[in-house]
Structure 1
Amino acid sequence: MSMAAFAGSGDDGAYPNSVLGKAQLLLRAFESGAVHLRLAELSRRSGVPKASAYRLAQELVQWGLLERSGDSYQLGMRMFELGQRVPVSAVLRRVARPLLTDLFAATRAAIHLAVLDGGHVLYVEKVVGEANIHTHSRVGGRLPASCTATGKVLLATCPDREERLHLLALTGLPRLTPRSVASVEDLRQQLAVVQEHGYAVEMEEILLGFGSIAVPILGAEGTVVASVSATAPTARLVTRLLPELRSSAAAVSRALTN
């Protein structure tokens, strides 16, 4: 699926005519987790014609938002620098990091902190040990919200859930493994269960052999601002991690609102 399919997240979905709009599409081509993209792939994923993609990519390189790596492009350090200044990300990471580190020490599971970004979750923090080999996520990276535990929590609690599900019905659900949720109707039923129970579980929807469990983090007036999850091999029965996960999420919520 090309990134052009998601270009309308939060707007009317029309292909942008402005230079800034097209530059946004180029940057969003990296949302799937790709680190290096050649020009042809950058054009295909963004939906921007190759000639225009080349000209814009050169300008983005000059601005530091992209960098050249051989015959490929990658996100530039300027993107990282700007991201560190985003208030929500900065506050969440500062408040949550010590508590998530304690959660990792107690569970030895990979701990993720994520927010909703269109049809994806954006990881703003990750705590793992040297023995962890979870290569499917990284800080600043994105994964489909439909098949992640954090995404299911955030979709289940967002006020415009039906609008987001409608968009996913138009674009189709990305499937990272054979166990990823296959239809919007199945996802809708899952979200109803998540809303009822207050947590979400995914088993091998992102990476075969691993599962995740996630709970919401509340901000002011009880609104859900993020989700925290624990990822571990399926043999560990990740549901056993729920008490520790809920305790840490409540501690982060208190820290955010105090």
Structure 2
Amino acid sequence: MSAPAGSYAPAVSRALRVLALLEAAGGGTLGVSEMARQLGVARSSLHNVCLALEAEGVVQRSEGGYRLGRRLVELGGAYLRTVDPVQAFYQACSDTSFLHNEICQLAVLDGTDVLYLAAHAGRLPLRMTASIGSRFPASITAVGNALLAQLDDDELRQRFEDPATRPAWTASSITDLDALIDKIRDTRGRGHALDEGEVFPGIRGLAVAVAPQYSGEQAYAVGASLLEVYCNAHIEQQAVEALSAMAAHIANPMNLGTGSAFVDA
């Protein structure tokens, strides 16, 4: 596999193909001869490419050949620092066929409330009151429950001691403190949060937490609001999978993370 026809810099294209081969090796090593064979190029020219990559630290040589180098970690980290969670959220909503049609939210926890940082309207005939900058009680929202699942039970009990922090917006809203803690425990065990008409009657909310990239980073959650009348186990599973993929993309656009973060109480 030679450099693409019309390549502006054939040597650069060849170097990137070397990196792709080493990535596919899954942490193993590849010799110059083997890479030259797979790429369909002369061993001598590829040897020079590998020497240049080694000099820059993006590959390292070992007894069995070459493997990816530590410099790639630094470059990847620099890229991750440029990623805006809001931008990543909207990109995921646009790129995911399931979420593109649904009402979705990106939120953070602020005390006993959630604050919406981004909202995707979807294509459903619904007009939800949640918009960018809106605050909702964390106790009854799916995104709130996903974020609360990262706290231990003692922290939950202290934070929600005041009954005013556990409002009833619908007949389904859970307002009892012990019941709220039980619900958050269920969220941890399930791996995603569930709002069964606690905010809006007839609306089923699903959410997952976004795993932080580093200690101390602001915690996020992504959620989707579905019409209960159209919701079944298959659709709910689709929603959870799509939200988990979105969370993984926001947490790490290079798909190195799991996308969901819960703690054991």
Which range, TM-score by smaller chain?
0.5 to 0.7
The residue aligned with 1:251 is 249
* Rg (Cα) greater in structure: 2
- Of all paired residues, the percent bearing the same amino acid is 23
Of 221, 227, 233, the residue aligned with 1:227 is 221
Give the partner amino acid of 2:167: P
Answering whether residue 236 of structure 2 is matched by residue 239 of structure 1, we say yes
Amino acid at match of 1:120: D
Aligned partner (choices 147, 154, 162) of residue 162 of structure 1: 154
Cross-structure match for 1:215: 208
Please, what TM-score do these two structures have when normalized by structure 1? 0.59
How far the C-alpha of 1:256 sits from its partner, in A, is 8.7
Contact 1:152 1:200 in 2 (8 A): yes
**Alpha-carbon distance change, 256 to 94 in structure 1, aligned in 2, over 3 angstroms:** farther
The answer to which structure has the higher helix fraction is 1
- Partner residue in 1 for 2:196: 203
Per the alignment, do residues 129 and 243 of structure 1 end up closer, same or farther by CA in structure 2, a change over 3 Å counting? closer
Q: Deviation of residue 186 (structure 1)? A: 0.4
Tell me, in whole angstroms, the C-alpha distance in 1 between the residues paired with 2:240 and 2:218. Answer: 18
For structure 2, which runs of at least 5 residues remain unmatched after alignment? 1-80, 257-265
- 1:130 and 1:213 mapped to 2: Cα distance? 17
Measured against aligned partners, the alpha-carbon deviations of 1:30-83 in whole angstroms (never above 9, x if no partner) come to xxxxxxxxxxxxxxxxxxxxxxxxxxxxxxxxxxxxxxxxxxxxxxxxxxxxxx
Instruction: Could you list the structure 1 runs, at least 4 aligned residues long, displaced by more than 6 angstroms after superposition.
Output: none
Q: Which runs of 5 or more residues in structure 1 are unaligned?
A: 1-87
Q: Residues 256 and 137 of structure 1: is their aligned pair in 2 closer, same or farther, counting only changes over 3 Å?
A: farther
CA-to-partner distance for each residue in 1:55-112, whole Å, 9 max, x for gaps? Answer: xxxxxxxxxxxxxxxxxxxxxxxxxxxxxxxxx9x93212322012223x42422011
SS in 1 for 2:195: strand
Q: Residue 144 of structure 1 corresponds to which residue in structure 2?
A: 137
SS of residue matched to 1:122: strand
SS of the residue corresponding to residue 180 of structure 1 reads coil
Q: 8 Å contact 2:249–2:255 — kept in the other structure? A: no
Letter in 2 for 1:228: V
1:181-192 alignment, distance < 5 Å: 181-192=174-185
C-alpha change, 1:177 and 1:248, in structure 2 (3 Å) is same
Q: Distance in 1 between matches of 2:141 and 2:181?
A: 14
Q: Give the aligned residue type for 1:245.
A: L
Amino acid in the other structure paired with 2:250? V
Count of aligned residue pairs for this structure pair: 168
Residue identity matched to 1:178 = A
Partner secondary structure for residue 114 of structure 2: strand
RMSD over aligned CA atoms reads: 2.5
SS of 1:247 mapped into structure 2: helix
> Which amino acid in structure 2 is aligned with residue 246 of structure 1?
S
TM-score, normalised with respect to structure 2: 0.57
Rounded to whole Å, the distance in 2 between the matches of 1:129 and 1:198 is: 24
Alignment match of 2:89 (pick from 83, 96, 110): 96
- Deviation string 1:183-229 (CA, Å, 9 cap, x unpaired) is 11001011111112210111110000111110111122477720101
- Check 1:137–1:169 CA distance in 2 against 1; reply closer, same or farther (3 A cut): same
User: Which letter maps to 1:106?
Assistant: F
Amino acid at match of 2:224: A
